[in-house]
Amino acid sequence: MTIGKLLKTGREIWEDEKMTLPQIIVRLGKIFGDICRWERNASKDGSVHTDAELQKELGNIIFSSIRCSGNLGYDPKECIRLAIENQRRGFAELQKLR
């Protein structure tokens, strides 16, 4: 799937419902919390502590981030390009410290 198709799919699912930045932060926080519970691995969470659940939550971060960037009027491809550029710089800086 392309980024454009993912954005279109998100719009098809959620129709015209757009989130504000505070709403986006809460929803991404919920996904992050689900991933944290997976790592915590408490016995009460055992029924959902599966590879499939972790894959779903990682997918939620990716898919939701694409939709959220579009909700805020940003081009998801540009957001990804900026993130890649930033991570390359960060990795280069890390290599210098080693």
Give the orientation angle of helix 76-97 with respect to helix 3-14, to 10 degrees: 120
> How far is Cα 51 from Cα 83, in angstroms, rounded to an integer?
26
d(CA 41, CA 10): 30
Output DSSP code: residue 44: G
Give the pLDDT band (50/70/90) at residue 93.
Answer: very high
More confident residue, 44 or 30: 30
Kindly tell me if the per-residue pLDDT of 38 is higher than 80: yes
How many other CB atoms are found less than 10 A from the CB of residue 69? 19
- With residue 76 as reference, give the H or E element that holds it: helix 76-97
Domain boundary assignment for the chain: 3-97
CATH pick for 3-97 out of 3.20.20.140, 1.10.287.1080, 1.25.40.10, 3.10.129.10: 1.10.287.1080
User: Does the structure show a pLDDT above 90 at 47?
Assistant: no
pTM for this prediction: 0.82
The candidate with the shortest Cα–Cα distance to 24, out of 58, 67, 54, 82, is 67
Coil, helix or strand at residue 41: coil
pLDDT of residue 41 exceeding 80, the answer is no
Q: Extract the runs of DSSP E, i.e. beta strands, from the chain.
A: none
pLDDT band of residue 87 (cuts 50, 70, 90) is very high
